[in-house]
Chain A
Amino acid sequence: MCLGIPGQIVAVADADAMLCTVDVSGVRRAVDVVCVAEPGRPLAELIGAWVLVHVGFAMSRIDEEEAAATLKVLTEIGEAEAEMAALRLGLDHPATP
């Protein structure tokens, strides 16, 4: 829950609602980007960025190497699997604005 998981922003899902589509190890869902967006800048600028996703919220921008290293630790301590299982729960009723 607290550790979150790295993902890459691949699309703007709903700019008015501050939601982007994030790819987390192949699983895609809408994620709130309020905490990583630059005020006044278009959300499209976030596409391609790597972020740390906590319970559906992008909380920090990270670089690709950091994303890979974090994913490795999460996998090794067994948290990645739990986080991915939780992520898939959300897909039955994906977040919308």
Chain B
Amino acid sequence: MRYVDEFRDPALAAALVKEIGAVCGRLERGRDRPLSIMEVCGGHTHAIFRYGLEGLLPDLVEFVHGPGCPVCVLPMGRVDDCVAIAEQPHVIFTTFGDAMRVPGARGSLLQAKAEGADVRMVYSPLDALELARKNPDREVVFFGLGFETTMPSTALTVLRAARGNVRNFSLFCNHITIIPTLRALLEQPDFGIDGFIGPGHVSMVIGTAPYLFIAEEFKKPLVVAGFEPIDLLQSLLMVLKQMEAGRAQIENQYARVVPDAGNPAALKAVAEVYEPRATFEWRGLGSIAGSGVQLRPAYAAFDAERRFAVPDVKVADPSSCRCGAVLTGSEKPWACPEFGTGCTPETPLGALMVSSEGACAAYYQYGGLRGAAA
């Protein structure tokens, strides 16, 4: 218990760990494999590693690190599309810093910038809109990516651009949605996840109702969790208790930030600006129906895909990478032949090594834990 001391409430943490142990002791009887719990959100993955939570838990519990790291699941071809837009004359290409280092087949945005493209890191899509206002003779494109957490920010920025008639601003929309993705994972025949730790900030926007199908159709428990180690322990205990009682429900451990109805203003902006795409390609997972969004025709003037000749590059992941198997939980990062050798955080080959929220980067940074040591 060497880590528990730094938690917000060490006594509570110790009590939770003890209770998890007791529930696991009962769940263990008659089981021949571990309980696989998927934490969907990359922020949770990072926190689980940083606080060494796996080391506090019984061997029965195995965390599987889900697809909730938007930078990690961005296909290489989309980065190449970004570079193609950025290289066009008069374009100022703006992006969150997280996306700068993601490798495309032709290199990253950082490399494109070094080679002369006008690529600028911004904190907020609002800053990209401001750049457009200040540079009326340039085309300012913002690279919108992320799950429902960041989707309201770009939707509200497009609405501002429309109201202010800022015609030289456009969005290269690569937003993805978590619900169709979870469904696609659950529909895989060999998907061995027993329960879910649900994402905190995505749920802050969408609420808890969209997850109901996981409990009703697939009979798996999901608990929406906060990011403190105490939150994660408490959420895990809630999942385990559901399993013990033979229940499958959607519960909300993070109610202090996540209202069950989500954020109405954010949802309204998202529904106004975006519509689902027929399909969207994920790095490591392939194409998933309905998992991406695009700008509605009413906002076509702000759609970079309509404004520029986007090559829509399709690039296969390096064949030696096991990103897909790691993302779905069927393999651990250290089983990949490139892990830590060909693929490191400094020179990532695969998606999951790119961001600190990716499973491979977390294993690399914080050590391999039980399995790697075994």
Contact = CB atoms under 8 A, between A and B. Distances in A.
B257 A52 contact: yes
The number of chain B residues touching the other chain, given as a range, is 35 or more
A56 to B, nearest CB: 3
B47 A77 contact: yes
A2 B149 contact: yes
B164 to A, nearest CB: 8
A54 B50 contact: no
B43 A3 contact: yes
A90 B127 contact: yes
B265 interface: yes
A96 B166 CA distance: 13
A3 B96 contact: no
A55 B125 contact: yes
B152 A57 contact: yes
A4 B71 CA distance: 15
B65 interface: no
A89 B100 CA distance: 14
Nearest to A63: B256
Contacts of A59: 149, 152, 201, 204-205, 263, 266
Contacts of A72: 8
B111 interface: no
Contacts of B125: 55-56
A93 B228 contact: no
Q: Is the interface of A mostly helix, strand, loop or mixed?
A: mixed
Contacts of B201: 2-4, 52, 54, 59
Contacts of B149: 2, 4, 54, 59
Given A1-B70, A2-B147, A35-B266, A89 B123 contact: yes
A95 B161 CA distance: 13
Nearest to B43: A3
B121 A62 contact: no
Contacts of B134: 93
B156 A60 contact: no
Interface in A26-65: 29-30, 32, 34-37, 52, 54-57, 59-60, 62-63
Interface string A9-32: 000000001000000000001101
B87 to A, nearest CB: 22
Contact of A86 (B41, B71, B96): B96
B98 interface: yes
B263 A90 contact: no
B124 A57 contact: yes
B121 A89 contact: yes
Interface string B44-62: 0011001100000000000
Contacts of B181: none
- Residue among A1, A37, A52 having the largest count of chain B Cβ atoms under 10 Å: A1
A54 B70 contact: no
B97 A86 contact: yes
Interface of B: 6, 8, 41-43, 46-47, 50-51, 70-71, 96-98, 121-127, 129-131, 133-134, 146-147, 149-150, 152-153, 156, 160, 164, 201-202, 204-205, 227-229, 256-257, 263, 265-266, 269, 356-357
**When A and B form their complex, which 10 residue pairs have the shortest distance between CB atoms, in order from nearest?**
A56-B124, A90-B123, A95-B126, A86-B123, A77-B50, A57-B153, A35-B265, A56-B126, A55-B124, A2-B149
